[in-house]
């Protein structure tokens, strides 16, 4: 029967403790990474909805020769997009600004300011940031500029 030296027994126990410590650190890092990825989902969905609404608003703004009607239609389509079920942006805040063209053939502008909810903000002590804005400029086509 061969007896192992005391030195190798101590080393094996130390290696087991090291493996447990590494596993614990890896588990914590994995959980933080998963929560971070989940926190980005509402931000991305809110941004996507804002871009879609701003683009649609700009398209509708250039479709009518009457600036007041164009402004109304552009705001309405932007609101419908932001309120749609597909956007799934519960807790997001939006502000729509429509600047109609000053005259025939002049550019108009649509702006959507948005603020996404921050998940796990209570756990992390994070305040929601300043609103972000998305802007599209719309210029009616030349043939529409000739409308009365």
Structural domain includes residue 134 = yes
Structural domain includes residue 2 = no
pLDDT averaged per 10 residues in sequence order, the chain, 148 residues: 57 69 91 83 86 90 80 91 76 89 80 82 62 83 54
Structural domain includes residue 94 = yes
For residue 112, give its domain range: 7-145
Q: Are 100 and 108 in contact (CB under 8 A)?
A: yes
pLDDT at position 29, please? 92
Structural domain includes residue 109 = yes
Q: Which residues contact 82 (CB under 8 A, 6 or more apart)?
A: 49, 50, 53, 89, 94, 96, 112
Number of domains in the chain: 1
């Amino acid at each position: 029967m061969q007896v192992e030296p005391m030195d190798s027994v101590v080393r094996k126990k130390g290696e087991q403790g090291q493996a447990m410590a590494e596993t614990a650190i890896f588990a914590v890092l994995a959980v933080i990474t998963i929560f971070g990825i989940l926190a980005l989902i509402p931000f991305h969905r809110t941004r996507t909805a804002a871009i879609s609404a701003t683009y649609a608003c700009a398209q509708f703004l250039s479709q009518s020769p009457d600036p007041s009607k164009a402004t109304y239609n552009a705001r309405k389509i932007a609101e419908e997009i932001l309120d749609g079920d597909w956007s799934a942006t519960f807790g997001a805040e939006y502000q729509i600004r429509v600047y109609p063209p000053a005259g025939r053939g002049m550019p108009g502008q649509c702006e959507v300011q948005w603020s996404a909810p921050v998940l796990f903000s209570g756990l992390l002590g994070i305040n929601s940031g300043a609103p972000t804005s998305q802007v599209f400029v719309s210029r009616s086509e030349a043939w529409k500029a000739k409308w009365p």
